[in-house]
Amino acid sequence: MRSPDSSRRQFLTAGVCLGCALAVSGCEQSLEPEVPRRIELAPLDSLHEPRTIFALEKLVVFRQRDSIGVMSMNCTHQSCLLTPLENGDEGYRCNCHESSFDIQGRVLRGPATRDLPWYAAEIDGQRMLVVDLSHEVSKEWRLNVGAA
C-alpha cells in the first residue's frame, strides 16, 4: 500500500508537469509573428493591366479597365510561392512540388487539391489598394475602381 506522502508527491509532480507543458505551449504560440489581416498593398495608379505580382505578400492583382481582383499566390499544398507559367501559358506553377493552377487559381495538377483563394479589397482615402486577407470572395468578385 502506498503512503499518503507518495500519492501527494505523484499528484504534485503531475501538476507541475502539466503547468510547465501549458506554459511552454503558450510561449510557443506567442513567438509566432501575427499575420496582418488587412494589407495596404499599393497605390491604385501603380496597378497595371492585366496583372501586378506582389511576391513578398504572395498576392497577384488583376486589373481590367475599371475593375480589380486579388488572388493568393501561396500554393494551397504547402504554402510555397507560385511563379507564372512560361511559354505563353497563363497560370501559375509551384516550384516546390510541381502543383499548377490556371489563371483563375483552379488546380490543374496536384499535389495541391484546393483552388487559390481570392480576397476582398477596397480603395482607401489615399487611393491605396487595401486587401482583406480575412475575407475570401468568389473568383468572379471584382472591385469597381472607376476610370482611374
CB burial of residue 84 (10 Å; 0-12, 13-18, 19+): middle
Spell out the domain ranges in the chain. 1-32, 38-144
Average pLDDT of the residues in 92-109:
91
* Per-residue model confidence as pLDDT tens digits over 73-93: 999 998 888 988 876 668 899
Residue with cell 495538377: 109
For the domain made up of 38-144, the CATH class stated in words is mainly beta
- 108-133 pLDDT, tens per residue? 988 999 999 999 999 998 899 999 99
Among candidate residues 101, 55, 111, 108, the one with its CA nearest the CA of residue 78: 111
Helix (H, G, I), strand (E, B) or coil at 32: coil
**Per-residue pLDDT at 30 exceeds 50:** no
